[in-house]
Structure 1
Amino acid sequence: MAYASISSAFVGRSGELEALASGLRRAFGGEPQGVLVGGEAGVGKTRLLQEFLAAAEEAGAITALGNCLEVGAEGLPYAPLVAAMRQLYRVLGVELERAAEGYEEQLSGLLPELGGAGPTPGDEYGRARFFECTAKLFERLAGDRTVVLAIEDLHWSDRSTRELLAYLIRSLHRCRVVLVATYRSDDLHRQHPLRPYLAELERLRAVQRLELARFARAEVEQQLAGLLETAALDRGLVGWIYDRSEGNAFFVEELAHSYQDVGRVGLSSSLRDILLVRVEALPDRAQQVVTVAAGGGSSVEHGLLAAVLGLPQEDVFEALRTAVGAHVLVPEADGDSYRFRHALMREAVLDDLLPVERSWINRRYAMALESDPGLVPADQRAGRLASYWYHAQDPARALPAALEAGRQARRGNAFAEQLLMLERALELWEQVPDEVLRDLQCYDCADEAYPRRSQAGVDSDRLRFVDVLADATVAASRSGDPDLSVRFARTASHVIDDTAEPECAAWFWLQRARAAHFHSQTGEEESKQARRLVEGRPPSAVQADVLSRISATGVLTGASQEHIAIGEHAVRIAREVGARAVELHTLNTVGMLRVRVGEIEEGLTLLREVCMQSRGIDDPYLQTRAYVNLSSQYELLGRSEEAVEAAREGLAIARRYGLIPTYAALMLNNLADSLLALGRLREAEEAVTSMLEYATGTAWSDDLFLLHAELALLRGDLAGAAEYLAGISNDDVPDRQMQKTLPWSDLAVRVATRSGRFAEARAELLSAIGDGLPPSFDDFAWSLLVHGATAEADCRGLPGADVGRAEVLELIRREAQRLSRAVPLYEGRAHMLDAELARAEGRNTPEVWVRAVEALRPTGRPYPLAEALFGAAVAYAAAGAREEAGRLLREAEEQARKRGDTELLREVTALAERARLPLDLSPFAEAPAVSTDAPDPSAALGLTARERDVLRLLTLGRTNRQIAEELFISPKTASVHVSNILAKLEVGNRGEAAATAHRMRLFPHDDRPPSR
């Protein structure tokens, strides 16, 4: 990846930039403004100021910037103002000299170029006159222009500069001046002179004070995308940099630079030196306290810190007060603990320790906590103790502590923390003496189907390495890392003897099958391996789970009665062995299968029952999966309102259990899909934005890209939609799920059609159909076939496009005959398909479109209703039924606006213009943009609006009959218009007319044929 030292994207700060812009607008109106911008070092004050100054210059303001100096400030009075005045002089030159006339002597201290002799030494009123003359100078300069004076790093300013700025803010009236100053809030210790100064200025009405917060995770991701010049960021990289930078823009840049240089996220020596400056300036005792505090964790309690230090309380208090005053440590809200002002500062302190020092500090913490467990909250005790012993490099004590911390994290559904503890346990296993391992007690894996010890042929109650691997496999899956889950399962395959422990081996194969689902694959081969191991064996939970998984592949590849039978057999086994969670998981699968094979109400009833019953079982995966699947089935049936309700319920469960990012990403994807279908665009975009945090760089990136492509298509951004589609590896993944493949193909056909690439649209349709569409994917299939037929209809009559059309249309008809029409959405799409097929064959009758409209109205979805309404309006207009065409077109416009479909609105407007149909805009419709285009060159030729429409089509090579069809006029009328055009252009034939239109660039943006 390339690297930019400063992100090309200006991230966040929209509110702060708008506040500055608002002040600028008031200044343009003659009201002087003052803006104070604070924030910690590196938070982005300078970048914000740069963006504002650039915007101010673009708006016509004159800008000047001065910087306060860190060293020797008191000996260089007015230094930032002198620098700013010199910038103004370079820009204004003689105009500034004219504004300073009469004040040269007083102002020469600010700008020696004025040539004055300077103020008289010892003049007790000289300072007052200097301040007044400076104010007069700005009033003259800003009488007929806006001036922005910016001062950076006010925390280093000298007293004279501060007093002059305060005087200007108070005394300037009715002139166009903006004074902006930035300062570091973390440098303002209790006695800093800027504290009372800022408080005094903030009381003035014309002064506003902004405090820049650190970036949120999404903003850090945007900044990294600009720094690394790629949109395909690794989710782990984003997480590491966000966690370590804590949203500080400068630290993000430094960590990204380090990653680019060495391929990992680490502290560069320069960044470490910057971070340690404050620490090294502390007295020795305060440094000792800071060093020990760094070893205690991200936050450390006062009592625990004091116990480890072993110092008199008076010395501890004094050292802590010094460290807090220097903004190294910060008291927590509870008042009884401390944290570092920034996590990277703590990391720099730890990096500066010798390994033996860090080990010794952690051992002291562990021993203090074991002696007095009450020093930390009870819910943190196990995790903290495990961490201290681990960093103390004592495996014999660290391993049992890590296992206990893992158990507690699992009980609290803290799967990421559980995974960390189990990874450490696996790492330490070989380092621990046998006598310690012998004393480790076993505990059950979180998954109900994991074989009990009697099934595994293990009589001992000792904890085994493979048991820890099993729990780590589940924890990795639930914390959103399926690849790590697979690695653990593969490791287990080298440990387990398939012959001695077939159920245990089958269970690990099953986890690999589940992980495949996270990569949009079916996991069919892995499921078969698991089935081979349990076939012919006594009933067990793992056997039921294996059959359940095989049944579930029908949802991904094409449901059948055989899949349902396998699922029902799995349910019977699960009930026999008392595996309640496996039973409900399988019933959930059977419910989806029944919906897919046409037993819709039976399937939905079963899905709803599972959702209700799952609440009585403490299995977060079961609960979230139940709601994910219920919402998706509702959406596939066109029942989007119910889908939204189910998705929101499931999302609440996922968040309550901490199942982030995996299940939240799934639920947000379902939610966004349904909201888009309902035309609730703002809510859908919010869901997509939330999904960014969880899905980027994961197996759900493809779903995110599809949503982005859909949104781009709605906005009319065809290039953006194509780019998002290109980011999805639709053909490169073997065993890919059809529920992923078909929506991709459908969207690809739509993008190609709207871009005028009809051959590409046809090729994608034929590739998707292949040897036939799979059964039980009716919603996706109907949509794909309709849009494929639309492409064929839109390109009718274009050169070369008619070749092979008949075969394509016949293929579409054949595939459609196999699809269900059981719900209004499918019925409506079926009628739309009939209408598009007729249009592709040169027939376009309104009645078929009307049937589609009436079938789709009950769905409450603006799409595809808007498309059906538009198609009906086109057909009625062609038939000469103008009143009916106008009514339907207005309704189509209303539905297109509801959905936010910019492209369809363009087509609606074009049809209204061609057919001369009035559009009564809704009072809530956006006002038309004021045109900034150059005058229409066709007006000088004397062409009427209708003649211009005809000429446009003529330049595209249309015949008179084709022109008549598109403009809803008779061929004879089209011929008359063509004759008039030839006469007005003074040309002899149609070719010369087209050449004249091209030469005069009458239609520069018409780069694709109009649809319909």
Structure 2
Amino acid sequence: MLVGGEAGVGKTRLLQEFLAAAEEAGAVTALGNCLEVGAEGLPYAPLVTALRQLHRVLGVELERAAEGYEEQLSGLLPDLGGAGPTPGDEYARTRLFEYTARLFERLAADRTVVLAIEDLHWSDRSTRELLAYLIRTLHRCRVVLVATYRSDDLHRQHPLRPYLAELERLRAVQRLELARFARAEVEQQLAGLLDTAALDRGLVGWIYDRSEGNAFFVEELAFSYQGAGKVGLSSSLRDILLVRVEALPEPARQVVTMAAGAGSNVEHGLLAAVLELSQEDVFEALRTAVRAHVLVPEADGDSYRFRHALMREAVLDDLLPVERSWINRRYARALESDQGLVPADQRTGRLASYWYHAHDPARALPAALEAGRQARRGNAFAEQLLMLERTLELWEQVPDEVLLDLQCYDCADEAYPRRTQAEDGADAGRLRYVDVLADATVAASRSGDQELSVRFAKTGLRHVSEVAEPECAAWFWLQRARAAHYQGNIGEEESEQARRLVEDGPPSAVGADVLHRIAVTGMLNHPSRMHLAIGERAAHIAREVGARTVELHALNTVGALRVLLGEIEEGLTLLREVCVQSREIDDPYLQTRVYNNLSSLEEQLGRSEEAVETAREGLAIARHYGLNTISGVVILGNLVESLLPLGRHREAEELLTSNLEQTGEAVLNYNVVRLQTELALLRGDLAGAAEYLAGVSNGNVGDRQPQRTLPWADLAVRIAVRSGLFAEARNELLTAIGNGLSTGFDHLAWPLLVHGAAAEADSRGLPDTDAGRTEALEQIRREAQRLSRIVPLYEGWAHMLDGELARAEGRNTPEVWLRAVEVLRPTGRPYPLAEALFRAAAAHAAAGAREEAGRLLREAEEQARKHGDTELLREVTALAERARLPLDPSAPTQLPADSGAVPDPSAALGLTARECDVLRLLTLGRTNRQIAEELYISPKTASVHVSNILTKLEVGNRGEAAAAAHRMRLFPQHTTRPRS
């Protein structure tokens, strides 16, 4: 439940009442507050607080639930005593998400657990992502998740806006927007606050008008009235909020002012350390502020927060800038003197924030660097990025003597070249501006901000001399290439720039990585022998310099390139060897990448059964490392893609649906949309398929890789044909193959050419479709001559293309389809075998070979059912009815007396004679008015007939009806030959 509303509308009170009711009903509850300072380097703060509450309540039970996950969960609950994740491990964050979900599943095994998060508008990115993961994952256990946020704080660029929109699309999520009180509700609230049943109507009206129904403002005005006996307040919101603060005695006001500067809440020890008061005076001042309902003790009893965040904001707004700086400086110094004043996991982030807002660059910069390092160790890359941005912002403001003391640390990318000699007399171990830029480049990329990553990389190149530091410059060019890949650009130019800088230098890890990147770019776009040689060179250099991970990545790419270039068994053998070797170095990204490539290539070669097993193994590895939402999503897509041609579409759809429920729209990328489109077509949901595909236009399918653009074009052609839009189908085909098909993508090119030729065959004889057909067929032939037939699946597609070309040119014979059937049967895939069998049956029926046509048609029906292809089953049934071919041999259909006569299809379709007349004119493109004129009926009657026809043919529009009539040859006089 997402509870939104403007500040003061009553979200906190509603949540408090709900939690109290839940506890009375036997639930275990935990509440965490997002800290305003949390967006400045304190990841997961509300979840840390909530888990600590659960630990205090459940004790040993929680420790048992966390058994086996202590190391991964120590970042959220240090009390477990785990060693914590490996510093810089970019996958530890994903494992943290997975194990946190498992912890809640265990805790909720025999009870209801309520996890509440307040002030989500202040949440850090890591908290939002972990909360979203829990929302999508915990839908099968007794966990209630509730979060509140301020709707009036959500400006157009606020990161919570798209986050809420994505969550709201999930079925398990409800969103509640609290409205302001109406006048009657304000009157009820005032009656309770003022403890009276007889309210002054003028007072109610005045408070309602001034508060505009905001529950908090109503409360403030009521307390003010109680204290003074009148309501003499300024119209300024700040004045309203500060009335009770200004009424406090001086020590209490000092406490409130200092507490406002600490953040969303403040620990007692820290507050006492910054106050110039005795311990007794601190207690008395706090007691006064609490009694006045200005401050509220937290549940842990050791910290305080403002009763309403608006009040804290008003106090801060009332301070002079120099006062705010002075307060932040006192907090920073107190925290430096005694680090135990705040929880250890908040220390560096809080210190960095205090020094930054104290406007002390010399202290803020080192603190921000340390906070960034800690965030990286916890794999909180968004928070690391913020700290690095502050470091870069402050760099020019810091004296040189401070910068000279900053020690260099390893960049998150191990390929970043380390300096081994002093430069300009400086210590080689000193941190440089460019080193911070490098780490920021990686942090931006890992946090998903590729545009910012490119900007940092460009800035790095301006600060690096390509002559003096070619490897460092090459590294930045390589980061630009990787980021460009995610922005819809293949990054080829950037990779070549990097290559130019290192090709004449000594062997290095970055040099090997650059060459590998070039090989990968070629593999994904236009694989060639040159790219194979580059990949082999990358592996050789990596082996020479001891960069084992880079070497195995390069060998993985080499294996894939060999398969794409026709060295199938050699490439598959190498990939399987890399699978084994990758387990030895325990690199999850490498392992999952190898399984991704291997399963994808096995499917391309028509080895769907092998691909399914390989994908399952890779998926198990991804889940073991907690990479379900990263590599696991890609491998799961491979698994679904291999299940579809085997006819296991129900299993495929369940896997896809389950994955989307857990990971959400964030992974609703091109591949997922493509698979959803394919499943919709199999179900016969033409409208759904078109809607899915419209979500990813062909001009926006990633980086224009053939592995994306060709399947999109194939789906677009098939959808256009089923919609009766044959001209559009031709345009989609010609656009896709206009610049020639890239080598290595035969598995995608063959189906596209076959479906394009089939569109030309199906549209023969229709109005306005013959012009341009000859040129389109010739272009299809030219592209087909360049494709490989090296595996049975490709050979089968090639024979099917021959058959469709013959159909399109009016010279169809059964023999070509029988050759396709013979080649495709051993593949064990119901598709495209079912289509080949259907075409063969139609050709035999047209040639008068009824017995053979019936046998082939029955086998086509069997394979179409295995594949789950609703549209093909409909066409099989239509052909059987039209040609009087029994699909059930045990109950053969009685042949008509004149076996040579073409049977009337109207009875099978349920069409009346008048509806047949209307449909015939509809296929000729007539409007309702024209139909009415030709048949001497009214336009309204014609419209009714058209509606009935659409219903009986089970189509959505006139174009689909015309296409269906043509496919079933209901009016053969409109065409030169019956469909065959």
Give TM-score scaled by structure 1 length.
0.62
1:518 equivalenced with 2:472 (yes/no): no
Task: Name 1:544's counterpart in structure 2.
Answer: 512
1:1009 equivalenced with 2:963 (yes/no): yes
Task: Name 2:395's counterpart in structure 1.
Answer: 429
Task: Name 2:496's counterpart in structure 1.
Answer: 528
Instruction: Note the alpha carbon deviations across 1:60-83, whole angstroms, 9 max, x for none.
Output: xxxxxxxxxx99xxxxxxxxxxxx
Shift of 1:585: 2.2
Q: In 1, Cα distance between the equivalents of 2:400 and 2:303?
A: 40
Shift of 1:613: 3.3
Amino acid at match of 2:415: A
TM-aligned CA distance change 1:948 to 1:692, over 3 Å: same
Asked if 1 retains the 8 angstrom alpha-carbon contact of 2:526 and 2:743, the reply is yes
Task: Name 1:398's counterpart in structure 2.
Answer: 364
Asked if 2 retains the 8 angstrom alpha-carbon contact of 1:448 and 1:581, the reply is no
TM-aligned CA distance change 1:408 to 1:668, over 3 Å: farther
Task: Name 1:444's counterpart in structure 2.
Answer: 410
794-803 or 996-1005, which moves further after superposition?
996-1005
1:186 equivalenced with 2:132 (yes/no): no
Shift of 1:466: 0.5
1:404 is paired with a residue whose SS is helix
| Alignment match of 1:416 (pick from 382, 385, 388) | 382
Q: In 1, Cα distance between the equivalents of 2:551 and 2:914?
A: 69
Shift of 1:486: 0.5
Q: In 2, Cα distance between the equivalents of 1:245 and 1:290?
A: 41
Asked if 2 retains the 8 angstrom alpha-carbon contact of 1:835 and 1:849, the reply is yes
Task: Name 2:810's counterpart in structure 1.
Answer: 842
Aligned positions, number: 753
1:453 is paired with a residue whose SS is coil
Amino acid at match of 1:186: Q
Shift of 1:211: 10
Task: Name 2:760's counterpart in structure 1.
Answer: 792
Shift of 1:784: 0.8
Q: In 2, Cα distance between the equivalents of 1:824 and 1:290?
A: 79
Q: In 2, Cα distance between the equivalents of 1:905 and 1:43?
A: 53
Q: In 1, Cα distance between the equivalents of 2:461 and 2:213?
A: 43
TM-aligned CA distance change 1:429 to 1:755, over 3 Å: same
Asked if 1 retains the 8 angstrom alpha-carbon contact of 2:420 and 2:428, the reply is no
- The residue correspondences of 1:800-879 to structure 2 (distance < 5 A) are 800-845=768-813, 848-849=816-817, 851-853=819-821, 855-856=823-824, 861-875=829-843, 877-878=845-846
Shift of 1:188: 6.2
TM-aligned CA distance change 1:555 to 1:441, over 3 Å: same
Instruction: Note the alpha carbon deviations across 1:86-131, whole angstroms, 9 max, x for none.
Output: xxxxxxxxxxxxxxxxxxxxxxxxxxxxxxxxxxxxxxxxxxxxxx
Q: In 2, Cα distance between the equivalents of 1:729 and 1:869?
A: 33
1:1003 is paired with a residue whose SS is helix
Q: In 2, Cα distance between the equivalents of 1:450 and 1:944?
A: 75
Shift of 1:641: 5.0
TM-aligned CA distance change 1:567 to 1:998, over 3 Å: same
Task: Name 2:654's counterpart in structure 1.
Answer: 682
Task: Name 1:249's counterpart in structure 2.
Answer: 175
Amino acid at match of 2:788: S
Asked if 1 retains the 8 angstrom alpha-carbon contact of 2:818 and 2:840, the reply is yes
TM-aligned CA distance change 1:751 to 1:626, over 3 Å: same
Shift of 1:884: 6.4
- The residue correspondences of 1:655-674 to structure 2 (distance < 5 A) are 663=631, 666-667=634-635, 669-674=637-642
743-752 or 898-907, which moves further after superposition?
898-907
1:239 equivalenced with 2:189 (yes/no): no
Asked if 1 retains the 8 angstrom alpha-carbon contact of 2:133 and 2:663, the reply is no
| Alignment match of 2:461 (pick from 493, 504, 507) | 493
Asked if 1 retains the 8 angstrom alpha-carbon contact of 2:764 and 2:808, the reply is yes
Q: In 1, Cα distance between the equivalents of 2:456 and 2:918?
A: 65
Asked if 2 retains the 8 angstrom alpha-carbon contact of 1:869 and 1:892, the reply is yes
TM-aligned CA distance change 1:752 to 1:524, over 3 Å: same
Instruction: Note the alpha carbon deviations across 1:925-951, whole angstroms, 9 max, x for none.
Output: xxxxxxxxxxxxxxxx99844794887
1:559 is paired with a residue whose SS is coil
Task: Name 1:479's counterpart in structure 2.
Answer: 447
Task: Name 1:766's counterpart in structure 2.
Answer: 734
Shift of 1:791: 0.7
TM-aligned CA distance change 1:760 to 1:347, over 3 Å: farther
- The residue correspondences of 1:465-614 to structure 2 (distance < 5 A) are 465-614=433-582
| Alignment match of 2:419 (pick from 444, 448, 453) | 453
Amino acid at match of 2:963: P
Shift of 1:489: 0.5
275-284 or 836-845, which moves further after superposition?
275-284
Asked if 1 retains the 8 angstrom alpha-carbon contact of 2:211 and 2:217, the reply is no
Q: In 2, Cα distance between the equivalents of 1:746 and 1:761?
A: 9
TM-aligned CA distance change 1:739 to 1:297, over 3 Å: farther
Task: Name 1:974's counterpart in structure 2.
Answer: none
Q: In 2, Cα distance between the equivalents of 1:857 and 1:287?
A: 86
Identity among equivalent positions (%) equals 61
Shift of 1:594: 0.9
Instruction: Note the alpha carbon deviations across 1:574-614, whole angstroms, 9 max, x for none.
Output: 22222223222221221211111112232233233334434
TM-aligned CA distance change 1:776 to 1:462, over 3 Å: same
Query: 1 or 2 for the larger relative contact order (CA 8 Å, sep ≥6)?
Result: 2
Asked if 1 retains the 8 angstrom alpha-carbon contact of 2:408 and 2:431, the reply is yes
Shift of 1:326: 12
Q: In 1, Cα distance between the equivalents of 2:715 and 2:620?
A: 30
Q: In 2, Cα distance between the equivalents of 1:315 and 1:738?
A: 72
Asked if 2 retains the 8 angstrom alpha-carbon contact of 1:382 and 1:405, the reply is yes
Shift of 1:744: 1.8
Asked if 1 retains the 8 angstrom alpha-carbon contact of 2:3 and 2:177, the reply is no
Q: In 1, Cα distance between the equivalents of 2:551 and 2:443?
A: 21
Task: Name 1:757's counterpart in structure 2.
Answer: 725
Structure 2 regions of 5+ residues with no counterpart?
28-111, 121-130, 137-146, 181-209, 224-243, 890-903, 925-930, 968-978
Q: In 2, Cα distance between the equivalents of 1:830 and 1:448?
A: 47
Q: In 2, Cα distance between the equivalents of 1:366 and 1:758?
A: 71
Q: In 2, Cα distance between the equivalents of 1:880 and 1:652?
A: 54
Q: In 1, Cα distance between the equivalents of 2:824 and 2:179?
A: 52
RMSD across aligned C-alpha pairs, in angstroms? 5.5
Instruction: Note the alpha carbon deviations across 1:116-151, whole angstroms, 9 max, x for none.
Output: xxxxxxxxxxxxxxxxxxxxxxxxxxxxxxxxxxxx
TM-aligned CA distance change 1:565 to 1:456, over 3 Å: farther
434-443 or 238-247, which moves further after superposition?
238-247
Q: In 1, Cα distance between the equivalents of 2:843 and 2:571?
A: 39
TM-aligned CA distance change 1:796 to 1:943, over 3 Å: closer
Q: In 2, Cα distance between the equivalents of 1:411 and 1:193?
A: 37
Asked if 1 retains the 8 angstrom alpha-carbon contact of 2:256 and 2:295, the reply is no
Instruction: Note the alpha carbon deviations across 1:188-229, whole angstroms, 9 max, x for none.
Output: 697x99989x9xxxxxxxxxx9999999859999x9xxx99x
Instruction: Note the alpha carbon deviations across 1:475-514, whole angstroms, 9 max, x for none.
Output: 2222222211111111112212222222211211111111
Shift of 1:776: 0.5
Q: In 1, Cα distance between the equivalents of 2:623 and 2:421?
A: 35
Q: In 1, Cα distance between the equivalents of 2:874 and 2:289?
A: 66
Q: In 2, Cα distance between the equivalents of 1:253 and 1:703?
A: 41
2:505 is paired with a residue whose SS is coil
TM-aligned CA distance change 1:609 to 1:597, over 3 Å: same
Q: In 2, Cα distance between the equivalents of 1:885 and 1:557?
A: 43
Task: Name 2:316's counterpart in structure 1.
Answer: 353
TM-aligned CA distance change 1:870 to 1:731, over 3 Å: same
